[in-house]
Structure 1
Amino acid sequence: MFRALFRTEIRGLENLPPPGTRMLIAPNHVSLIDGPLLHAVLPIDASFAVDTGIAKAWWAKPFLRVVKHYTMDPTKPLAARDLIKLVAAGEPVVIFPEGRITVSGSLMKVYDGTAMIADKADAVVVPVRIEGAQRSYLSYLNSSQIKRSWFPRVTVTILPPVKLPVDQALKGKARRNAAGAALQDVMIDALVKNAMLDHTLFEALGHAYRDRDTGKVIIEDALGTKLTYRKLILGAQVLSRKLEDGTAIGENVGVLLPNSAGVAVVFMALQNSGRVPAMLNFSAGPVNVLAAMKAAQVKTVLTSKAFIEKGKLDKLMTAISAEARVVYLEDVRASIGIGDKVKGLLAGTTPRVPRQANDPAVVLFTSGSEGTPKGVVLSHRNILANAAQALARVDANANDKVFNVLPVFHSFGLTGGMMMPMLAGIPIYMYPSPLHYRIVPELIYQTGATILFGTDTFLTGYARSAHAYDFRTLRLVIAGAEAVKDRTRQVFMERYGIRILEGYGVTETAPVLAMNTPMANRPGTVGRLSPLMESRLDPVPGIEEGGRLSVRGPNVMLGYLRAENPGVLEVLPDGWHDTGDIVSIDPAGFITIKGRAKRFAKIAGEMVSLSAVEAIAASLWPQAGSVAVSIPDQRKGERIVLLTTEKNAERSAMQAQAKAIGASELTVPATIMVVDKVPLLGTGKTDYVTATTMAREQASPPERVVA
């Protein structure tokens, strides 16, 4: 019946352990048909653990009459004793660890009682993913959350069995909690493993249109442009034919555009035609932009006359025009006729140029905060994996709205702010500048946005300008790119009742490497590693706790492009990326960043974290911007210079604060420079190159100077 009505496909039957194995089968729970479906497709006679509340429901009773089942109450651990004995005796048991059908489309809370059963019975957990049934009218999702169907195609995937990694030394409640956290990770990993990673971005957009299009506007911008999935795909089909002229399949094509609905169409049009968007940072200045173009061998740049005029980028365009062909989208639009639109409509969601998941999908560029920008080549799989990793940890659906103020030349703005919500059916509002501190809060209020991505610098600016009611609809504020100050957290919580979730990303990991989540949040850390990622800490001389972090996983880039060797992909050794960050990882997996390897000063043989110096300054002067850099010193090797906007900053205050918190005397800067503003890049990150140059130019004996 299920094969006929739902065209059910079963994958991974070979992963089921042999009969007699102690096993607990753990599926996700998306609809009322999940239990009968598993009973029908599993080739073994398994018992079902059923919540006492569900067992009393009229619709469950017909199913329970024909299957072996045991009722259990998630709030009463003693009720699990019989199930532990059953599993320990080699009887396969099916338990839905969430204990309820999802109401968000994402993984719900996993009850640790299920994990306790597996742990005490010394059993393996067999993760099972049910996909498609959430679109049926027997799910708890409504038509505003997902595109519904009476008989959607359903896939049941059985993944390899896993033994919960629980420290044998743990006892009692601590062991139960650890087992529960381990099972939550198993379920999250299963979600990401089962995600559609073997597709291209344009194919993934087609799947999102098929499964998630509720008729809502998926992208809108400050110009009033509104695009549904249908309009976005049609626009990409029409534009792709026009952009093919003068470019070749696989060629890197420069994109110089602000956050708008238009940049989404251009990006997907290039994906459709097999070209690779190279996202140019228009705030980086001519020298860095030309270096980026040289690294990626960009010969064609797509931009807009209106944007160049409003952004006053004439000087930049003069430099670009000398090195590449410039295509203005206004001219392309004028050449589109009715015939082009008809062809685009007939093309549907079929890509014009077939590509593979491991082919390059985009070239982003490192910020240049510590030197010349490098090209970071991300594949389709990299971006799809990172979107799946983030969605597995963050509860978001089509009832949300992402306010994307981070530029799409920034990996956080591209993946987190545009691609992830676009592929998950979450509406997006694109705004061109994160620096409009008064306008952004008002637009968040007007649009009813629920999710905001930002940096500490930008969030602080919004908090200063926003009305207490402007953020009433926000439920998720996720910060990255720089450390979140305690003062910023405090303001958002006290004034707006919002908890900031801090994450950690680098362009090379597409970008989310770790993040705190509503279910696993530890302030002061950047959260736990993204699903399916591996980490390695290499020792650093002078650093006693932690080490230099390297990572590997499905979201780690294909490699670098450098201006010194244009167009040649520099692949990673064995897939490991050296982040250059010094971190520590606690037993629960939470990562604390101690600083960049390059952001440690070696003073008289001792390693001193410049981030620690900045933290002391922030605790003293929370309203000021401060950045610490190191410059050569003939006597001690290096010395620290603090640039700060605090007009009354004194070295003696830093000394007193360091002493009060038990910090080393070496964390007190040799020189304090009072500046009008701390140099920032367009992404909101500190511009350390400029800051170091300023410090060198003003170099003087240890004391306080005014720049």
Structure 2
Amino acid sequence: MILTLALLAGLVLAWLLIGVAEKFRLGLRFTQALLYVPFKLAYRIGDSRIRIARKAQAPVIYVISHQSRFEPALMLSLLPEDTLHILDEVSARSPWLEPWRELGRTIAFNAEHVFVSRRLVRVLKGKGRLAVYLPDAVEPDVKTFRLFRAVTRIAMQADAKIVPIFVGGARGLPVSLTPADKAPRHWFPQLSISVLEPMTIAELVARNPDQASNTNALFDRVAEARLFGTNLDRGLFLAMRDAADRVGASHTIIEDVISGALSYRKLFIGARVLGRRFEAVTAPGEAVGVMLPNANGVVLSLTGLLSSGRVAAMINYTAGPASVTAAVRSAVIRT
């Protein structure tokens, strides 16, 4: 009994000490830090860029990609305590989120209705902060795009800056909002928080005057946060390997009407067989011409070249002899 109490006391003390460290490291309130500690330890969260969000001058709108049920708890733990969080109805009623909702100000909204309101504009004009949780969509449907349009209008009326936030890895959590067949679940994936610098809608549009609309500028900025949270130094071959780890090596990756379907496992086996051959007849970093029809073979060749450290120079066989010859000469293709 005494040993059990001592262990519990040790755990509580460790929790408090880590909470104090997080409080001073990120500038959180002590209660915020305490409720953030379980996430930090369980998911080894890379959170250095959250300081950008905390230091953003009001009025500001934090646009969070809502991939799982954890984002509201994380943001309530990490964003300034005066932020008004606009939660979906499930997050606003969820019993397990109650301790985190007590950390800040929250209101619920019905995603079926566009939520532009004078109240939100007044909050921002009074040097306030909003946190909105928008669906994480590569290509938004009509309902999702209306939400982006509503946020754009609020930001423009209040002249508020936009701070996109993306939690990398949250898509594969057990509480993910993405169907399991599209995002295989993992209990404790490593998470990283991607935050971009604050910018107004006018500044976003000024970067690309050819934008179709102000809403498109906001959507593209949110997509940038998703891209920023990706390790672009990994390369295509390693990214494919990571995808195989997530969905399973037996998952089908390519298919054509002649060769049939290939799983990740078969793709990598074929790629390495070809890769060894490429290594034997070409130099590292050399451009190798690939002129094949759109079938499994072209993907195997491309992956094999990438795995052997060669550059795949894709040649369009429909371009005609003169264009193909000119391309080969320009790229100094010997193989």
Scaled by the length of structure 1, the TM-score of the pair is: 0.37
Question: Over residues 316-351 of structure 1, what are the superposed CA-to-partner deviations in whole Å (9 max), with x where a residue is unaligned?
Answer: xxxxxxxxxxxxxxxxxxxxxxxxxxxxxxxxxxxx
Distance 2:216 2:325 in 1: 48
Shift of 1:255: 2.0
1:153 and 2:161 aligned = no
Paired residue for 1:133? 170
> Contact 1:30–1:105 (CA<8 Å) still a contact in 2?
no
Query: Which residue, out of 283, 306, 309, partners 1:271?
Result: 306
Paired residue for 2:42? 5
Distance 1:236 1:230 in 2: 10
1:79 to 1:296, Cα distance in 2 relative to 1, 3 A: closer
Rg larger in structure: 1
Paired residue for 1:228? 263
Greater strand share, structure number? 1
1:291 to 1:119, Cα distance in 2 relative to 1, 3 A: closer
Shift of 1:29: 0.6
1:214 to 1:162, Cα distance in 2 relative to 1, 3 A: farther
1:31 and 2:68 aligned = yes
Paired residue for 1:80? 117
> Contact 1:164–1:183 (CA<8 Å) still a contact in 2?
yes
SS in 1 for 2:47: strand
- Letter paired with 1:132: G
Distance 1:122 1:67 in 2: 23
> Higher relative contact order at CA 8 Å, sep ≥6: structure 1 or structure 2?
2
- Letter paired with 1:262: G
Distance 2:224 2:176 in 1: 23
Query: Which residue, out of 236, 259, 262, partners 1:201?
Result: 236
1:51 and 2:88 aligned = yes
Distance 2:280 2:193 in 1: 44
SS in 1 for 2:76: helix
Query: Which residue, out of 250, 273, 277, partners 1:242?
Result: 277
1:53 to 1:33, Cα distance in 2 relative to 1, 3 A: closer
SS in 2 for 1:218: strand
Shift of 1:38: 1.6
1:134 to 1:248, Cα distance in 2 relative to 1, 3 A: same
1:236 to 1:162, Cα distance in 2 relative to 1, 3 A: same
Shift of 1:117: 2.5
- Letter paired with 2:239: A
Shift of 1:141: 2.0
SS in 2 for 1:95: strand
1:120 and 2:157 aligned = yes
1:193 to 1:18, Cα distance in 2 relative to 1, 3 A: closer
Shift of 1:264: 0.9
> Contact 1:52–1:72 (CA<8 Å) still a contact in 2?
yes
> Contact 2:194–2:225 (CA<8 Å) still a contact in 1?
no
Shift of 1:27: 0.8
Paired residue for 2:220? 185
Distance 2:249 2:182 in 1: 7
Long gaps (5+) in structure 2: 1-37, 205-211
Distance 1:161 1:19 in 2: 6
- Letter paired with 1:266: S
SS in 1 for 2:166: strand
Paired residue for 1:255? 290
> Contact 2:125–2:158 (CA<8 Å) still a contact in 1?
yes
1:533-612 → structure 2 map (5 Å cutoff): none
Distance 1:217 1:27 in 2: 32
Distance 2:113 2:291 in 1: 59
SS in 1 for 2:108: strand
> Contact 1:119–1:179 (CA<8 Å) still a contact in 2?
no
Paired residue for 2:333? 298
SS in 2 for 1:258: coil
Distance 2:202 2:113 in 1: 24
Distance 2:176 2:139 in 1: 13
1:90 and 2:134 aligned = no
> Contact 2:77–2:103 (CA<8 Å) still a contact in 1?
no
- Letter paired with 2:261: K
Distance 2:325 2:53 in 1: 55
Scaled by the length of structure 2, the TM-score of the pair is: 0.74
1:107 to 1:159, Cα distance in 2 relative to 1, 3 A: farther
SS in 2 for 1:257: coil
Shift of 1:215: 4.0
- Letter paired with 2:198: P
Greater helix share, structure number? 2
Shift of 1:285: 5.0
> Contact 2:116–2:153 (CA<8 Å) still a contact in 1?
no
> Contact 2:256–2:295 (CA<8 Å) still a contact in 1?
yes
Distance 1:105 1:287 in 2: 39
- Letter paired with 1:241: R
Shift of 1:73: 4.0
1:107 to 1:5, Cα distance in 2 relative to 1, 3 A: farther
1:66 to 1:265, Cα distance in 2 relative to 1, 3 A: same
- Letter paired with 1:240: G
Distance 1:284 1:133 in 2: 43
1:234 to 1:79, Cα distance in 2 relative to 1, 3 A: same
Distance 2:115 2:287 in 1: 61
Across the aligned residues of Structure 1 and Structure 2, the Cα RMSD in angstroms comes to 3.1
> Contact 2:169–2:190 (CA<8 Å) still a contact in 1?
yes
